[in-house]
């Protein structure tokens, strides 16, 4: 009852904590919200202060780099300056002469602005080159007149650069809405070079730039130059309070989710139906609380808490984000555990129902696994099968973990169901063996991953049909509508006086920025955009993979229709066909045409948005906008276009499949088909389009890749779960110790782990080495391929220059030949030959490019990297391959010098390679996949071998341990056998010999112990041994009987004297035992007996020393010596009686003879008769007689009667003895006789008759005034005795008299020897009987003689 009350109190305390803590958290958030509402809104300048400070630090870092370059070398400047904020943003550092010509440079610095060459230049300026925002710091001149310039790529918008993170990651993004950098050259114009003008213009500009709603905060250098402006948003108290309230609710919900796990022991609670129901309700409530408060998205990073990486609006948003999936998975897992515990409890009485319940639960959880897996395949932005995503994003690990928990929950239930269905025991159902769970996990994992793989492939085919096929079949329509939309969009933007989106005021970049904002870029078409003025002159151009073909065309805006006009043109040269769609529209302002927009889209199969060659450039040009790196997350399909004869018109793969009948039939039935291309397997979707056939192909995962993905996912899932459980164990109380014990406590585990480490680590090392080697070989192959490309480009350019070398009249170098010039068109043509883009640099500056847009967009500077200039031009290196940044990615660029001695300056050709690396890395990945499989297989083999080896080594040891345990448990028959012939066999033999010896010793010991126990059990002497503390170790029954205790009252383990002390009658014994003993001398202790008598015990206490001499306890031996003492006393009495009788008898005869002689003499002499003398003589005779009688009694007492026993009827005997008294009728005495039928007794009639008569005489004497004399004979069946009793109704006896009644020479009468009753007792005892007396003063006395039956052994 008390326990229940405590348990109930504990439960309520935990419930109070469960509710109270979240409420406390929520309440504190509410209080903080109330306080926040009362606070003032910080001003914009207060909010902008940290931003300004961070910006100033950034400027200082930039200056320090330039100064380091001026003081030392350009290539060491960045490291010398120890960059923090600008780390990784250095574009280039250069030293320039007073005319602005480069002297030396590192990487690709921009050219110094004219303002930097002025006498009082600004230290910092901002340049807006298309999408690039560059911070440029310039210092100098030094004594040599050189200036140092450092340029940094910073951008507040592009995905690859985030200024706010550069400046200070701690800045509050809620307060800083936007940071806009301003191109200082465009802002100040020529006045930038003059400090006075800068100051004057600065005031005017500040007023203009600060305007806005809300007003902007300017970012200036310490020279007062405006470099940017920021939009600061004040965070209102209401907003802050609202944020606090929301996050408070979310934290409270999270706490509510965690606390039940910590506070309650669900493994116990779930055993009852109510507890199980409570667990389920709690799980559902917690899950709903997390959902309702949006805890995932409010408290965790975006990739984890939002639907960004994974999420589904289905299932009530239970799978709305990676974290939501994890919460849901944990809910399923814990629900599965609760169900398992409940079922285990139910199974004790309802086994079938429990099995059914668990099976249904297992089926449901498997359904949940299916649903989760499907959602993972469908609703994830990145494929889960690609493990690279695990490292790239935060969410996939959560997804895998969640999936693993659902899998684990399902496996646990299937394990429990299996245990119950096969009739296993209940504990096995409650906690299935790990092997059972592992066996259940494997098929579920394989099925799940197979489903993931199948869905992945199915979705890919769906995407082919629903996304890519329409793009292919309606490609011209798509281009057309996109071009019209883009041209209209740009014309509208220009017509509405809108400043071009973006921040550049340089008109050169205007077309690019508009193109970037238009559908042309967003869809990803190879296209161009031209802006013309009213005169038809082109003022800005940007083309992506489409050069400005119609440079001479001058559209007339005034005559253009308002709606965009569209037509198709062939702008190719020679055999090269370049079909493009052309659209143009006027720019109308105030009802008048002020210019025109002309857009082109390449209308060719190569211009499909998903064609991979365009992807890296699109990603780089947009710097993360629109088509970004995410496009690569889903592999683009390969594409082949056939004509009716099967000729390949376009392809994105090498060795495209031949157009077969199967392909045509698949196209006709709108089906898919397996095809092979370039030794790879694809799923193809053929599409008929008039006379053409398009083939979209998606790479099919090979069995090896599938297996690799399976292994990777299983390994990662297991790794995550292991990590989680390890962490959970480590943070649990005694967890680390238990873990350590688990490993250290098993020889097998230690041995297996050692073997595994010994074999696995080198194997892993080897695998890593091979992996590194393969990767390095891949890189080397890539480098060789790059060198080849550069070589081809080099030869193509050299051939072109040689081919176009023409004699001219006068030239600068006087050799009479044209020095050779290259332009973009030439390189655009050469790139078809080289099959790669080409840039050509002359004297370190870009001269021509087939990919001009990379420079026009400001993405790349027009300078040859300093390393290339140094190593190739100055040191004469034939080739150089470098990795260079391309937006947020990197591209490999191969450089080669152009060997044309007749040309002026040094020419270097550069070939960027953006896809080759992907191709090579894909090949390398494939090899690595095989390597992974081989490694995993070998590690599996190593694990198996280690387990087998460890088992074979550990088995004898384990057998020995088991056998030793058996022997320790008392099974001495245990023997071991071994088939080996080694030391283990000797060990086993030794063990068996030892076991035999132990068995023999044990048998001997047992015999001795049994013997001792028999001795003790049968000994009449009480024996008890105690330990040093006085606790009983052994005790024999005689002792408990001796002390009058039950056997259960005195048992080993009890404290002897304390236990004895509880019995009052044993007090003297306890006192004696507590007194120190004197050596081995026995002590007599008198104890009161129940009949008022005293019992005497003789106690002997012996100390028991251990081998070292210290006392370990004592041995007590006790004997009841009462009878012995009495016997001794009686013997002494008898001896004395015999002596007295002898001494008395001897003089009596001479006295009598002498007296008779004297009487005769006196008679003879006649003195007699004389009355006086005769009276004297008579007295002498009487006394002599009396003395003779006394001596006779003494003699009788002294001599043990010699019995002549005979079988007699006790009744008849008593009738015979009582007969004379019955006949004589003593005065006033009534005689009553009660006889029962009794068995015969063996008695000496004479001796026993005298004893009975003695008793009757005593009884009559006790009734001087009369009374009743009762004589009876009856039988004590239990004792097999015959009882003869004599009872009177006389005066009775005092207790003291009764106590001493049978003592010799004790008498209450004035006459008599006091030997009567003593003789009676001796006579009775001589018959092996006993006599007892009971008496009450004033009521009479009763003597009972008990005699054994004639047939009893005692008789």
Chain residues in the site for another protein (CB under 8 A):
157, 159, 173-174, 177, 233, 235, 239, 294, 297, 306-308, 310-314, 317, 320-321, 375, 378-382, 462-463, 465-467, 470, 474, 477-478, 480-482, 484-485, 488-489, 492, 501, 517, 519, 522, 566-570, 581-582, 624-626, 628, 630-631, 633-634
Nearest approach in angstroms of CB 522 to another protein is 6
In angstroms, what is the minimal distance from the CB of 62 to another protein? Answer: 27
Q: How far is residue 1250's CA from residue 1216's CA, in Å, rounded to a whole number?
A: 12
Residues 6+ apart with CB under 8 A from 1197: 1133, 1134, 1137, 1304, 1315, 1318, 1319, 1322
| CB-CB contact of 68 with 61 (8 Å) | no
Residues 6+ apart with CB under 8 A from 1080: 1100, 1101, 1102
**Nearest distance from residue 466's CB to another protein, in Å?**
3
Nearest to 361 by CA among 381, 337, 336, 338: 336
**529 φ, ψ to 5°?**
-140, 130
**What gap in Å lies between CA 395 and CA 407, rounded to an integer?**
18
User: CB-wise, 587 or 793, nearer to another protein?
Assistant: 587
Nearer to another protein, 214 or 736 (CB): 214
910: nearest Cα among 880, 890, 875, 871 = 880
Least distance to another protein from the beta carbon of 307, Å?
4
Question: What is the rounded CA–CA span in Å between residue 808 and residue 787?
Answer: 35
Q: In the bound complex, what is the minimum distance in angstroms from residue 331's beta carbon to another protein? A: 19
> Closest distance between another protein and the C-beta of residue 470, in Å?
6
Residue whose CB is less far from another protein, 215 or 427: 215
Give the nearest distance from C-beta 957 to another protein in angstroms.
57
Q: Indicate the residue among 467 and 1006 with the shorter CB distance to another protein.
A: 467
Query: Closest distance between another protein and the C-beta of residue 581, in Å?
Result: 8
Least distance to another protein from the beta carbon of 914, Å?
Answer: 20
Our CB check for another protein shows the closer of 566 and 1344 to be: 566
Residue in this structure with the two tokens 């494929």, named with its chain if needed: 383
Pairing of β 132-139 and β 124-129: antiparallel
Shortest distance, position 891 Cβ to another protein, whole Å: 21
Nearest to 1104 by CA among 1188, 1030, 1046: 1030
* CB closer to another protein, 408 vs 580: 580
> Which of 632/729 has CB closer to another protein?
632
Identify which of residues 365 and 482 has a Cβ nearer to another protein in the complex: 482
Beta carbon nearer to another protein, 112 or 320:
320
Q: In whole angstroms, how close is the CB of 416 to another protein at the nearest point?
A: 33
Give the nearest distance from C-beta 612 to another protein in angstroms.
15
Return the number of the residue (78 or 398) whose C-beta is nearest another protein.
398
**With respect to another protein, which residue has the nearer C-beta, 204 or 567?**
567
CB-count exposure of residue 1316 (10 Å: 0-12, 13-18, 19+): buried
Closer by beta carbon to another protein, 304 or else 1024: 304
* Smallest separation, CB 722 to another protein (Å): 30
Q: Which is nearer to another protein, 500 or 858 (CB)?
A: 500
CA distances from 936 to 501, 581, 722 (A): 54, 55, 18
Q: Shortest Cβ distance from residue 103 to another protein (Å)?
A: 41
44 vs 478 by CB, closer to another protein: 478
Specify the pairing of strand 1241-1243 against strand 592-602. unpaired
Taking the complex as a whole, the smallest distance from the CB of residue 335 to another protein amounts, in Å, to: 24
Cis peptide before 720 (omega within 30 of 0): no
Are the C-beta atoms of residues 105 and 94 closer than 8 Å to each other?
yes
Q: Which is nearer to another protein, 484 or 827 (CB)?
A: 484
527 with 546: CB under 8 angstroms? Answer: yes
Helix (H) or strand (E) holding 907: strand 907-913
Tokens in use for 491?
Answer: 């014309």
Which of 1033, 1040, 1041, 1117 has its CA nearest to residue 1081? 1117
Neighbour tally for 1079: CB within 10 Å: 7
CA–CA separation, 1185 vs 1156, rounded Å? 13
> Smallest distance from the beta carbon of 479 to another protein, in angstroms?
10
Calpha distance 1347→1331 (Å, rounded): 9
CB proximity list for 124: less than 8 A, separation 6 or greater: 59, 62, 63, 135, 136, 137, 138, 221, 223, 225, 227
Cα–Cα dist 1193/1201, whole Å: 12
Rounded to the nearest 5 degrees, what angle is found at the Cα of 1027, between the Cα atoms of 1024 and 1032?
Answer: 40
Neighbouring C-beta atoms of residue 1099, cutoff 10 Å: 17
503 vs 712 by CB, closer to another protein: 503
Beta strands, E only, 500-605: 527-533, 538-544, 565-570, 579-589, 592-602
**Closest CB to another protein among 307 and 1321?**
307
β-bridge mates for residue 897, sequence order? 908
659: tokens are: 């157009």
Query: Least separation, in Å, of the C-beta of 174 and another protein?
Result: 5
Minimum CB distance to another protein smaller for 625 or for 1299: 625
Which positions ≥6 away from 411 have C-beta within 8 Å?
437, 438, 440, 441, 444
Residue 1267 tokens read as 């009374």
Identify whether the C-beta of residue 650 lies closer than 8 Å to the C-beta of residue 671: no
Beta carbon of residue 326, minimum distance to another protein (angstroms, whole number): 16
């Amino acid at each position: 009852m008390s326990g229940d009350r405590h348990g109930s109190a504990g439960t309520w305390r935990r419930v109070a904590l469960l509710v109270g803590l979240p409420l406390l958290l929520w309440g504190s958030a509410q209080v903080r919200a109330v306080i926040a509402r009362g606070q003032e809104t910080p001003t914009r300048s207060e909010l902008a202060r940290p931003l300004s400070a961070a910006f100033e630090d950034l400027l200082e870092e930039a200056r320090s780099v330039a100064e380091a370059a001026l003081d030392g070398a350009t290539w060491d400047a960045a490291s010398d300056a120890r960059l923090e904020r600008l780390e990784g943003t250095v574009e280039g550092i250069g030293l320039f002469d007073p005319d602005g010509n480069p002297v030396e440079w590192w990487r690709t610095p921009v050219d110094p602005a004219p303002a930097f060459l002025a006498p009082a230049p600004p230290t910092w300026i901002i340049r807006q080159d298309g999408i690039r925002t560059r911070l440029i710091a310039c210092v100098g001149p030094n004594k040599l007149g050189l200036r140092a310039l450092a340029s940094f790529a910073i951008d507040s918008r592009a995905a690859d650069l985030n200024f706010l993170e550069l400046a200070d990651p701690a800045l509050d993004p809620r307060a800083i809405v936007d940071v806009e950098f301003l191109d200082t050259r465009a802002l100040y114009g020529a006045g930038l070079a003059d400090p006075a003008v800068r100051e004057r213009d600065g005031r005017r500009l500040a007023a203009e730039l600060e305007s806005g709603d809300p007003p902007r905060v300017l970012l200036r250098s310490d020279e007062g130059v405006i470099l940017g402006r920021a939009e600061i948003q004040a965070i209102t108290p209401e907003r802050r309070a609202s944020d606090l309230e929301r996050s408070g609710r979310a934290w409270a919900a999270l706490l509510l989710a965690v606390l039940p796990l910590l506070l309650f022991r669900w493994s116990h609670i779930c055993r009852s139906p109510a507890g199980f129901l409570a667990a389920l309700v709690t799980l559902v409530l917690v899950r709903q609380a997390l959902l309702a408060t949006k805890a995932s998205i409010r408290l965790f990073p975006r990739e984890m808490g939002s639907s960004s990486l994974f999420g589904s609006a289905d299932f009530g948003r239970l799978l709305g984000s990676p974290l939501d999936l994890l919460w849901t998975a944990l809910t399923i897992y814990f629900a599965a555990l609760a169900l398992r515990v409940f079922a285990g409890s139910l199974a004790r009485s309802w086994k079938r129902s429990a099995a059914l319940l668990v099976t249904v639960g297992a089926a449901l959880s498997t359904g949940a696994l299916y649903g989760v897996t499907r959602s993972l395949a469908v609703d994830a932005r990145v494929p889960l099968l690609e493990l690279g995503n695990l490292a790239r994003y935060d969410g996939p690990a959560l997804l895998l973990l969640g999936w693993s928990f659902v899998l684990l929950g399902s496996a646990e239930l299937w394990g429990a169901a299996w245990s119950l269905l096969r009739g296993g025991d209940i504990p096995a159902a409650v906690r299935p063996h790990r092997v059972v769970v592992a066996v259940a996990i494997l098929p579920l994992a394989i099925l799940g991953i197979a489903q993931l793989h199948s869905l992945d492939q199915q979705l890919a085919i769906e995407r082919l049909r629903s996304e890519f096929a329409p793009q292919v079949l309606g490609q011209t329509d798509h281009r057309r509508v996109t071009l019209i939309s883009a041209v209209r969009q740009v014309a509208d933007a220009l017509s509405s006086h809108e400043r071009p989106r973006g921040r550049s005021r340089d008109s050169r970049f205007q077309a690019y920025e508009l193109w970037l904002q238009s559908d042309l870029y967003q869809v990803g078409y190879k296209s161009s955009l031209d802006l013309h003025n009213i005169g038809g002159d082109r003022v800005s151009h940007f083309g992506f993979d489409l050069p400005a073909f119609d440079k001479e065309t001058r559209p007339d805006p005034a005559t253009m229709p308002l709606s965009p006009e569209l037509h198709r043109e062939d702008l190719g040269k020679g055999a090269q066909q370049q079909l493009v769609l052309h659209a143009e529209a006027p720019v109308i302002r105030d009802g008048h045409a002020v210019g025109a927009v002309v857009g082109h889209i390449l209308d060719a199969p190569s211009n499909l948005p998903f064609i991979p060659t365009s992807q890296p450039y699109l990603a780089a040009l947009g710097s993360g906008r629109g088509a970004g790196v995410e496009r690569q997350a889903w592999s683009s399909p390969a594409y082949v276009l056939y004509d009716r004869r099967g000729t390949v018109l376009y392809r994105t793969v090498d060795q495209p499949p031949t157009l077969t009948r199967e392909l045509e039939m698949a196209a006709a039935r709108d089906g898919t088909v397996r095809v092979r291309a370039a030794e790879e397997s694809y799923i193809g979707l053929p599409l008929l389009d008039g006379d053409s056939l398009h083939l979209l192909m998606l790479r099919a995962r090979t069995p090896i890749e599938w297996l690799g993905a399976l292994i990777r996912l299983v390994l990662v899932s297991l790794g995550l779960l292991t990590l989680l459980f390890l962490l959970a164990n480590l943070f649990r109380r005694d967890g680390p110790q238990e873990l350590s014990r688990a490993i250290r406590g098993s020889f097998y585990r230690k041995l297996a782990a050692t073997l595994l480490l010994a074999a696995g680590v080198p194997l892993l090392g080897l695998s890593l080495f091979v992996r590194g080697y393969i990767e390095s070989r891949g890189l080397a192959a890539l480098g060789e391929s790059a060198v080849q490309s550069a070589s081809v480009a080099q030869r193509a350019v050299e051939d072109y220059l040689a081919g176009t070398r023409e004699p001219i009249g006068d030239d600068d170098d006087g050799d009479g030949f044209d020095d050779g010039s290259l332009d973009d068109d030439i390189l655009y043509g050469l790139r078809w030959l080289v099959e790669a883009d080409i840039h050509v640099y002359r004297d370190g500056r870009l001269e021509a490019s087939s990919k001009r847009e990379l420079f026009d967009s400001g993405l790349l500077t027009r300078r040859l990297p300093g390393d290339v200039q140094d190593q190739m031009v100055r040191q004469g290196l034939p080739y150089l391959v470098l990795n260079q940044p391309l937006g947020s990615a990197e591209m490999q660029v191969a450089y080669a010098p152009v060997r044309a001695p007749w040309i002026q300056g040094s020419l270097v050709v550069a070939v960027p390679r953006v896809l080759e690396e992907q191709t090579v890395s894909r090949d390398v990945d494939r090899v690595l996949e095989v390597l992974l499989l081989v490694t995993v297989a070998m590690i599996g083999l190593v694990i198996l071998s280690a387990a087998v080896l460890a088992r074979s080594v550990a088995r004898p040891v384990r057998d020995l341990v088991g056998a030793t345990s058996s022997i320790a448990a008392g099974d001495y028959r245990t023997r071991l056998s071994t088939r080996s012939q080694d030391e283990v066999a000797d060990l086993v033999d030794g063990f068996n010999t030892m076991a035999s010896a132990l068995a023999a010793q044990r048998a001997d010991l047992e015999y001795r112990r049994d013997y001792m126990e028999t001795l003790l059990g049968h000994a009449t002497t009480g024996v008890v041994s105690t330990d040093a503390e006085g606790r009983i170790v052994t005790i024999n029954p005689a002792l408990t009987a001796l002390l009058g205790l039950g056997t259960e009252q005195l048992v080993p383990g009890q404290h002897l004297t304390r236990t004895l002390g509880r019995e009052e009658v044993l007090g003297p014994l306890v006192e004696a035992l507590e007194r120190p003993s004197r050596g081995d001398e026995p002590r007599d202790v008198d104890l009161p007996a129940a009949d008022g008598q005293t019992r005497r015990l003789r106690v002997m206490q012996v100390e028991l020393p251990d081998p070292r001499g210290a006392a370990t306890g004592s041995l007590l031996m006790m004997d009841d010596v009462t009878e012995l003492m009495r016997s001794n006393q009686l013997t002494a009495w008898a001896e004395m009686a015999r002596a007295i009788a002898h001494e008395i008898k001897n003089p009596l005869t001479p006295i009598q003879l002498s007296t008779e002689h004297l009487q005769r003499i006196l008679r003879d002499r006649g003195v007699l008769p004389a009355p006086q003398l005769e009276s004297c003589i008579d007295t002498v005779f009487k006394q002599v007689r009396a003395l003779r009688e006394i001596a006779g009694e003494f003699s009788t007492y002294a001599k043990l009667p010699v019995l002549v026993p005979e079988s007699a009827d006790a009744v008849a005997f008593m009738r015979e003895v009582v007969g004379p008294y019955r006949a004589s009728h003593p005065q006033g005495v009534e005689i009553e006789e009660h006889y029962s039928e009794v068995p015969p007794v063996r008695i000496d009639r004479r001796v026993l008759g005298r004893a009975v008569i003695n008793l009757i005489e005593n009884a009559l004497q006790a009734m001087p005034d009369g009374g009743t004399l009762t004589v009876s004979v009856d039988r004590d069946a239990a004792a097999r005795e015959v009882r003869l009793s004599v009872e009177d109704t006389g005066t009775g006896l005092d207790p003291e008299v009764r106590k001493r009644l049978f003592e010799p020479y004790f008498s209450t009468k004035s006459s008599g020897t006091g030997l009567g009753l003593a003789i009676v007792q001796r006579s009775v005892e001589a018959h092996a009987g006993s006599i007892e007396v009971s008496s009450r003063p004033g009521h009479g006395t009763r003597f009972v003689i008990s005699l054994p039956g004639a047939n009893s052994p005692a008789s």
